Structure 1
Amino acid sequence: MKQIIQTTAAAALLLAGSITAMADDSSINMIDASEFGIDSSEIASIQSQMQAAVDGNHIAGALLLVGNNRGVGLLETAGTQGPDDATPVDAQTIFRIYSMTKPVVSVAAMSMVEDGLLSIDDPVGKYIPAFSSLEIIDQETGATRPAQNEMTVAHLLTHKSGLVQSIFAMGTTLGGMYEANVPSDGSATAREVADSLGELPLLFEPGTAWHYGHSTDVLGAVLEVAAGQTLDVILNERIFEPLGMDETTFYVPAEKASRIAEPVHGAMGDNTVVRPMLSGGGGLNSTTEDYVRFAQMLLNNGEYNGARILEEETLALMQEERITDDVSREYFFYGDRGGWSLGFHLQPVDAANPDGASNFGWRGIGGTLFVVDPVNEFFMIYMEQKRGGPRGAPFDNNVAQRVVYEAID
């Protein structure tokens, strides 16, 4: 385990201006917040809002970090790792990052494209035969017809596959088919889940609309077939080992259970119980210290501490808008604002200029978020664990992104 020494007291941070990471192998090297244009009053305000979310019993604890290629200028924490845990949240706390797994798997996919193991234009059926004879469902009548378009790896990366997920199709014929036929308890492997999905109809023709769902789970199965390895091995060899992300895993070793963050409201699965499913769509656990390495690699055009994960040209391709004018935004989470690329959200850096430069990243359903902003040369990571509970939290991942941009502006 990588060790760093830091203070979690806002007062100490205000007095010191920076905190020095003590271990040579830590990704967290503290620099002064003023390098980001963030002053002490803004730090105090952010810390106060984070603490209010804890005091209001919305979350047990949270962490917010802002960094760049020179170091970390803001690292604020509030609260503890869980409602029954007195341990303060820190950069070594383990969070279920859920859909923040998707960008990691997308990067692994593109590294395999670089190595010639697959192409984004490959049909999914080349790797998962169940996807070779697709059908489209009519949601009104339940009738199906043969698909006209072939589903490709690019459609999986961009969520234009026609695959959805039961949680996003509740009360519909297709949603019921997902619930009845797609294993969701972790007892099936990624390949078995993909085989089940390939037998079900699609919501729309691949390539014609954006819809969140099981696309990245199927992508994980495609990578396994293309590489002849399980997804955990693929991610370890291509991303985690080169970057030193030795705390990012699909399942948490029992000896690290005391570092797992837990929600105040609702229950999250026991991530120490090893199951067959390696979910490319949402199965990873990670620490802030580990995810900094991934985010900094992206900010630094595919390289971190001498380890090149992607070529600059590949990462640039991954940031190109893929919700073009011929693609429906009916189901897109942000409507007409922003877009989607090969594995990342694209959101305007300047809300007043929606057609201007974009940041990229993604979030997890448990409350986590990361954003990489090449224009302003920073990345941010926000970690919490939340599953349900009262609405109106004074701080969450949306507020975190807003206050960081306000402070930097």
Structure 2
Amino acid sequence: MKKISTLFLFLFFVSAAFAQQQFKQAANAAAAGFSAERLARIDSFFNAIIKEGLAPNAVTFIARNGQIVHNKAYGFSNLEKHTPAQTTDIFRIASQTKLITTIAVLMLYEEGRLLLDDPIYKYLPEFRDTKVLVKYDKETGKAETRWPRPMPTIRHLLSHSAGIPYEHPMDSVLNGKTMLGLSSLDAVTTEELVKKVAQRPLVHDPGTQFTYGYNTDVAGRIVEVVSGKSLSDFFMERIFKPLGMNDTYFYLPASKAGRLVELYSKQRLESPLTLHSDISNRTFPIAGKQTLHLGGAGLVSTATDYAKVCQFILNGGTFNNVRLLSRKTVDMMGRNQIGGSNVWDRNDKFGLGFQIITDSTRYGDQASPGSLTWGGAYCSEHTIDPTEKLILLVFTNVSPYAYYGDFVRKFRVLTYQALQ
């Protein structure tokens, strides 16, 4: 009898683990622990802001215990053509690319091919002479630098504590113009970008502050050097295909180009939604030379595809019947890596690849402490809540976006208020 009970428990846990490998549609909201009546507030919210011109569209994805409870599209993927939004629409996800690159680095880490505390220069020699900026005179162009204490490491890159910003006080002197932004239509490569980044002194000693910047782009280049593959090929072969992410790319194949949503801008709340003025930002996934693989900002995806990454993290490193990372590595990703520093004014910490919501958060609202979140500059965001076994994502594409904070945070509030 004891043997039968042991076998039963084994099969139960195996079947339970297997059930989390693929999303399933919840039989109803209550079955996943939600109030259907309260979930309907999400519909009211998005329908209202789209009618008011505060957003062109929105696609949502909410799943609890691997059961989908809300996956809807609102508004129009193209306002001018009045094209109805679909849940299969493809969005520019900008900095949500960073989590994918972090996963790639950690896969190499688990294979013994690098350590997180290895100095960057071990893989990218151009960083061997990296200095810290002590003083800079903008008028004369003179700079005072010193050796960093310590040298920047891969861990610093993944936690944005290396001292590598996006905008640098010396950019005009070192590069003749502002550094590359979120995209390019020219024949530029990540290797070329990273070599430019290496020319700039760090803005502080590694590990002493949270400074958001080109860190993950540098980490993406390390993936290329260590693996011997382009970042695009590594992502496709080692992450996207195994997880069943069939709509995530740096550059879209022609057959999927029509699913890319249009990109808009909204400088102020009272301003109308207008087509984004930067043709590169609008068209880079389907035009140009397509040689740049930005590990910090370059991907496009659907809400459903990216939900697979979120569920992969929630499951402890496995999804679609494959394991890409160990449970202990995923646990490590959610540990504070920035010490006493905070993520901007949010009163939150940063781990490896995402922000960690604390019990004194000024950003995470009702999300459980320890929840993991990050978003992209074009306005897309995810939250992974291990306590509630919950993932929630909302995508649109507007940049700059005066309504960004309300768009993503109110969706999160509306999700949590519907939990029973």
Fold shared, TM-score > 0.5 on shorter chain = yes
SS in 1 for 2:357: strand
Mapped to 2, the partners of 1:388 and 1:206 lie a distance apart of: 30
Checking the alignment, whether the CA contact within 8 Å between 1:59 and 1:263 is kept in structure 2 is no
Moved more, 258-267 or 95-104: 258-267
**Residue identity opposite 1:95 in structure 2:** F
**Residue identity opposite 2:351 in structure 1:** S
* Compared CA separation, residues 349 and 306, structure 1 to 2 (3 A): farther
Does 2:43 correspond to 1:47?
yes
Mapped to 1, the partners of 2:50 and 2:404 lie a distance apart of: 9
CA-based RMSD of the aligned residues comes to: 2.6
1:304-329 deviations in Å (ceiling 9; x for gaps): 1311111101101111111213xx44
Match of 1:378 in 2: 390
Checking the alignment, whether the CA contact within 8 Å between 1:181 and 1:196 is kept in structure 2 is no
Does 2:227 correspond to 1:216?
no
The gaps in structure 1 that reach 5 residues or longer are 1-24
Mapped to 2, the partners of 1:159 and 1:35 lie a distance apart of: 40
Once the 2 structures are TM-superposed, how far is the Cα of residue 177 of structure 1 from its aligned partner?
Answer: 4.4
1:185-264 equivalences in 2 (<5 Å): 185=184, 187-264=187-264
Does 2:268 correspond to 1:272?
no
Match of 1:180 in 2: 177
Mapped to 2, the partners of 1:156 and 1:221 lie a distance apart of: 11
1:4-403 equivalences in 2 (<5 Å): 27=23, 29-139=25-135, 141=137, 142-166=143-167, 169=168, 172-173=169-170, 177=174, 180=177, 182-184=179-181, 185=184, 187-265=187-265, 266-267=275-276, 268-270=281-283, 271-273=285-287, 274-325=289-340, 328-329=341-342, 332-335=343-346, 337-348=347-358, 357-388=369-400, 391-392=402-403, 396-403=407-414
* Compared CA separation, residues 381 and 233, structure 1 to 2 (3 A): same
Once the 2 structures are TM-superposed, how far is the Cα of residue 394 of structure 1 from its aligned partner?
Answer: 9.7
Once the 2 structures are TM-superposed, how far is the Cα of residue 70 of structure 1 from its aligned partner?
Answer: 3.3
Match of 2:6 in 1: none
* Compared CA separation, residues 217 and 394, structure 1 to 2 (3 A): closer
Once the 2 structures are TM-superposed, how far is the Cα of residue 132 of structure 1 from its aligned partner?
Answer: 0.6
**Residue identity opposite 2:357 in structure 1:** Q
Checking the alignment, whether the CA contact within 8 Å between 1:65 and 1:382 is kept in structure 2 is yes
Q: 1:405 aligns with which of 386, 394, 416?
A: 416
Equivalent pairs, count:
375
Checking the alignment, whether the CA contact within 8 Å between 2:165 and 2:212 is kept in structure 1 is yes
Checking the alignment, whether the CA contact within 8 Å between 2:187 and 2:292 is kept in structure 1 is yes
* Compared CA separation, residues 235 and 196, structure 1 to 2 (3 A): same
TM-score by length of 2: 0.83
Mapped to 2, the partners of 1:285 and 1:392 lie a distance apart of: 21
1:148-177 deviations in Å (ceiling 9; x for gaps): 3211110100001110002xx5xx445764
**Residue identity opposite 1:346 in structure 2:** I
Checking the alignment, whether the CA contact within 8 Å between 1:102 and 1:281 is kept in structure 2 is yes
Mapped to 2, the partners of 1:26 and 1:395 lie a distance apart of: 31
Once the 2 structures are TM-superposed, how far is the Cα of residue 51 of structure 1 from its aligned partner?
Answer: 1.2
**Residue identity opposite 2:335 in structure 1:** E
Checking the alignment, whether the CA contact within 8 Å between 2:381 and 2:393 is kept in structure 1 is yes
Once the 2 structures are TM-superposed, how far is the Cα of residue 269 of structure 1 from its aligned partner?
Answer: 2.6
TM-score by length of 1: 0.85
Mapped to 2, the partners of 1:122 and 1:208 lie a distance apart of: 17
Mapped to 2, the partners of 1:300 and 1:175 lie a distance apart of: 45
The gaps in structure 2 that reach 5 residues or longer are 1-20, 138-142, 266-274
Percent of paired sites with the same residue: 26
Mapped to 1, the partners of 2:368 and 2:68 lie a distance apart of: 26
SS in 2 for 1:197: helix
Checking the alignment, whether the CA contact within 8 Å between 1:98 and 1:365 is kept in structure 2 is yes
Mapped to 2, the partners of 1:394 and 1:154 lie a distance apart of: 29
Once the 2 structures are TM-superposed, how far is the Cα of residue 387 of structure 1 from its aligned partner?
Answer: 1.4
* Compared CA separation, residues 202 and 393, structure 1 to 2 (3 A): closer
* Compared CA separation, residues 231 and 183, structure 1 to 2 (3 A): same
